[in-house]
Structure 1
């Protein structure tokens, strides 16, 4: 990669829908003048890959001409692989910001765990690179990304200006409405919701069984500060996310209730240690 222009931030763009997806092109167009852009994205769709990495076979990185104005590469691996390779083999440094998306479909509530879009951003945050994942609430191949572009640029500008901590990670979801119908954005919490899943059983032409995962999204959280509520009420949701999964309240409780009585790592009184050392010196 060529040396970054003076005072111009280096911005890494990736996604999980693949380098040819309309969403990544929309994201690039939205922020291309805000820094020196480099794109490294999967060579095929990788939705639902979560934080998977490739360890069983080699990775391939191919330079593309899909974005003639900048350096762009397709990667044979997962979204997380893309971030790792971008830092180590393309940029040879940590970028100033990592943008992931714009994803086709929501990544609110429990989806953040399964999302390749958010896992790419999370990998960047783990590596001390401020990051954000953008998702549009539409699966349509002809989705209108104009409102998502507006908010992607707005959030990116704020992140570059406010100099947030190096581990900052944001999950941004945009309703599938025209910009004029979106009320604004809300800083939210992740809603408590899940999928009630089932598998459709079918048979292939040879008579062997196969299964399709399906399910119904169920929201258990009616709080007005949740991402699901915000999106249902025509707001863009912005959720600060952590990759530390420790339940600190439970940790504190268990330290008291589950105190290990067999723990023998009790320090000897300082006075005894001092006396013993004095006798040795005599």
Structure 2
């Protein structure tokens, strides 16, 4: 990302356009670039990389089946004007696609967040709307940053001021990236900031932890899911290696994971050999 002028930033999130985290980032990023906000009109957390594509409806509002006519491959994504930008009736990935392709000025970089709650671990990337919006940008060959802030155990109601540290970090990354070649080496960054009431302890370049544990039980005729990792994190007792994102955050460091979009296959020969034996 090499620019002759200040960067044009597309800002989105999954908490909704009225969330305090996106307000804080809009203010901070406006000090280093031109900011266009395209964000969901309501909370769309944990929708992953889902799209509104295929959301065709009849005049009565009933779902229509997909056919092979031209209209089947185009779907309206309603929006309303908002003081920050565009409030979209859609998902975070919808917002990224719209912001990159449908606006008059193409963004130089996409920032997603700042999410209320950390997004840590490899397992979360396909689940988090915040990270998915950045990943969508990467697939569309646009550099991106996903910003999240730990809020576990933070009981006060969040305000834009609570995201000040996240805003400063986002502005430093966006404002300083042009000319460094940073995004020649990666597709997107996943950044996690400690709680606002924790003393900062620098930053760490991390990898997403692969430690994952979800539990399910059948009790009293119903199923229940329990996230053991969040239980452990609340107790600040996580079995993650020192170079991982969750370990860094529990050390009150800003975790920065440099990532490439997934599903790249480097060596298919071993798989081919096995399949040839099977098939």
Alignment of 1:75-154 (within 5 A): 75-91=88-104, 93=106, 95-109=107-121, 110-138=123-151, 141-142=157-158, 144-154=162-172
The answer (yes or no) to whether the contact 1:200–1:213 under 8 Å persists in 2 is: no
- 1:199 Cα shift? 7.0
- 1:248 Cα shift? 3.3
Q: Which has the higher contact order (CA 8 A, sep 6+)?
A: 2
Unmatched 5+ stretches in structure 2: 57-75, 233-237
Alignment of 1:1-282 (within 5 A): 7-54=5-52, 55-57=54-56, 58-64=76-82, 66-67=83-84, 72-91=85-104, 93=106, 95-109=107-121, 110-138=123-151, 141-142=157-158, 144-165=162-183, 168-178=187-197, 181-198=199-216, 213-217=225-229, 222-246=240-264, 248=266, 251-255=268-272, 257-258=273-274, 260=276
* Structure ranking higher in strand proportion: 1
Larger mean Cα displacement after TM superposition, 134-143 or 228-237: 134-143
Give the secondary-structure state (helix, strand or coil) at the position aligned to 2:113. Answer: strand
State TM-score, norm by structure 2: 0.77
Whole-Å separation in 1 of the counterparts to 2:277 and 2:217? 47
The answer (yes or no) to whether the contact 1:191–1:221 under 8 Å persists in 2 is: no
How many residues are treated as equivalent by the alignment?
A: 244
- 1:211 Cα shift? 7.0
Whole-Å separation in 2 of the counterparts to 1:178 and 1:236? 14
Deviations 1:215-263, CA, capped at 9 Å, x for gaps: 22178853211101111111110011222324536x34324x4273799
The aligned residue for residue 206 of structure 1 is none
- 1:124 Cα shift? 0.8
Q: CA RMSD in A?
A: 2.9
Give the secondary-structure state (helix, strand or coil) at the position aligned to 2:126. Answer: helix
